Amino acid sequence: MSDPRTLEFGAPRIIAALHLPPHPASRHPAAQSISRIVDYALRNAERAVRAGIPALYIQDVADTPVAPHVQPHTVASLSVVGTALRRAFPDLILGVCLMSHGAREPLAIAQAIEAQFVRLKVYVGAMVKAEGILQGCAYEAIQYRAQLGAEHIAILADVYDRTGEPLARLPLVEEARQASVFGRADGLVLTGLSFTESLEMLGQVRAAGLGVPLFLGGGANASNVAQALQVADGVIVSSAFKSRQGWTREALLDEWASDRIQVFMEAVRGASQSV
């Protein structure tokens, strides 16, 4: 495994991605009040913490369609949610990930809520996504983090986020090198269109020895997490905790099930004992 010391809080083996209900300003038919969104976040985070999950990030996944730029209400609402989580779970490793593209806003939220990391989906290069063409934000992220005096906030950068298609695709390892060496990301997130492809991507980048932690960005479940942790320093997970599977409106709004979290974490502990 690569040296995880580039992250001040270490490389947590499991990071739960807490997808929040839609904000009223999203005009989504299932939009909820801020107080109900906060309650949703606290309920689900409590289930994760009770099961032994060390890290969690909040994300505005249900605010669709995705805005071309981060909206002020998103910054405000995630700051409120994040503050409630930090107060309730002071020892939780906390992070921020936004659906709309940008580096300044997630870093600003992270500093305000005393979070330890952000996940940035288009860090180097350029990608075509549902909301249009997005360009890498590495320079903006590094400069703004320094401006905030927030170098303690780690940047986890996706390499070829599976929700988009890169323009002028470089070889995977070169793109990962651009993100980690030239972009100075503190960790890399890799996710293929299938679990098998994800393992192949992780294996290729692992062999390059870039010296930063590698995370599987999606597709982990209780059946395959042991296999994932053989090539990744950690995994990011959400769907495996839900009773409804797949990317549907109903699944996005589903809550985490305590029994599913427990089964997943038992598989993680089994993988640790077999090493």
Q: What pLDDT is stored for residue 247 in this prediction?
A: 63
In this prediction the pTM is: 0.93
Q: Is residue 1 part of a domain?
A: no
Q: Is residue 30 part of a domain?
A: yes
Q: Is residue 3 part of a domain?
A: no
Q: What pLDDT is stored for residue 147 in this prediction?
A: 97
Residue-range definition of the domain harbouring residue 226:
11-274
- Domain count of the chain? 1
Instruction: Mark the ranges of the chain whose per-residue pLDDT is less than 50.
Output: 1-6
The alpha-helical segments, DSSP class H, found in the chain are 34-50, 72-88, 104-112, 138-148, 172-177, 195-208, 225-228, 249-253, 258-274
Q: Is residue 188 part of a domain?
A: yes
Q: Is residue 56 part of a domain?
A: yes
Q: What pLDDT is stored for residue 275 in this prediction?
A: 54
Q: What pLDDT is stored for residue 246 in this prediction?
A: 65
3-state secondary structure of 188: strand
CATH of the domain at 135: 3.20.20.70
Q: Is residue 72 part of a domain?
A: yes
Task: Tell me the C-alpha distance between 37 and 20, whole Å.
Answer: 7
Q: What pLDDT is stored for residue 253 in this prediction?
A: 77
Q: What pLDDT is stored for residue 168 in this prediction?
A: 86
Q: Is residue 130 part of a domain?
A: yes
Q: What pLDDT is stored for residue 8 in this prediction?
A: 65
